[in-house]
Amino acid sequence: MNLWKMELIHLFRSWRGWTLVSISILASILAIVTGVFIERVDNFSYSGVLDLYMIYSLIPTLILIGIVVSAFSFDGNKDSSTFLRTRFSMKRILITKILVYFTLSELLWYLGFIITLIVGRILFDASDTLSFKWMMWGILLQAITSLFYVALMLFTSSIFRGSIASVFLTLAVIIGIPIIGGTLSTIELLMRGLIQTSPAEWENVSY
């Protein structure tokens, strides 16, 4: 059997694939509905609803990370590991999984983004136009971020054989490091008496 086809069948014959699709679309719907409620009390632009989509899309991203790390940790399932290793090389298995999940994650994220963009332009204030140049930069940076996540998930899934331990380690790194960094930055600002510094004065602050 073709490894690509097998991976997609395994994904969409279980709850994983359809859950990812549903939650990705739900993030777009939630962003639009939230924008409608905000529009009732204040003027709201379609760029704002895109910001909301970025926030709501974090939940599908975390779920996707858990599913992908579990897929990479196939050695935790003896039957699955034996089946794959006796038919395909390790390099081919990993490359196929990387390409399948990377492509799927990007397609789902951009699908939600496009839905939010189109509906947002119809429902909300469109006078504040987006810069096409900066939107392309944002799309590029989104792809680079996804590549970083892939590298991180490959690393964490190689440490433990079990998928549960690998998922928890990956989430701890992704969520824990920003929390630690933000906490330490806040402590430093408090110690230096800079917590109330206005953004306009930051260029005069020594690091």
**How does DSSP assign 35-82, residue by residue?**
HHHHHHHS--BHHHHHHHHHHHTHHHHHHHHHHHHHHHTGGGSHHHHH
Confidence of residue 205 (pLDDT cuts 50, 70, 90): low
Q: What are phi and psi of 66, to 5 degrees?
A: -60, -40
Mean pLDDT of 29-36: 90
Whose CA is closest to 51, among 144, 124, 150?
A: 124
Q: What are the helix (H) ranges across 124-162?
A: 132-157
Q: What percent of the chain has pLDDT over 70?
A: 88
pLDDT in tens, 84-108: 777 777 778 788 888 888 888 888 8
Task: Check: CB of residue 33 under 8 Å from CB of residue 56.
Answer: no
**Other CB atoms closer than 10 Å to residue 140's CB: what's the count?**
10
Q: Is the pLDDT of residue 77 over 70?
A: no
Whose CA is closest to 66, among 120, 16, 29, 4?
A: 16
Confidence of residue 162 (pLDDT cuts 50, 70, 90): confident
Confidence of residue 201 (pLDDT cuts 50, 70, 90): low
DSSP state of 16: H
Q: How far apart are CA 76 and CA 63, in angstroms?
A: 19
In this prediction, residue 63 carries a pLDDT of 85
| Structural element, H or E, at residue 190 | helix 163-191
Reading the block at residue 108, the tokens are 């789902």
Confidence of residue 202 (pLDDT cuts 50, 70, 90): low
pLDDT in tens, 4-14: 777 777 778 87
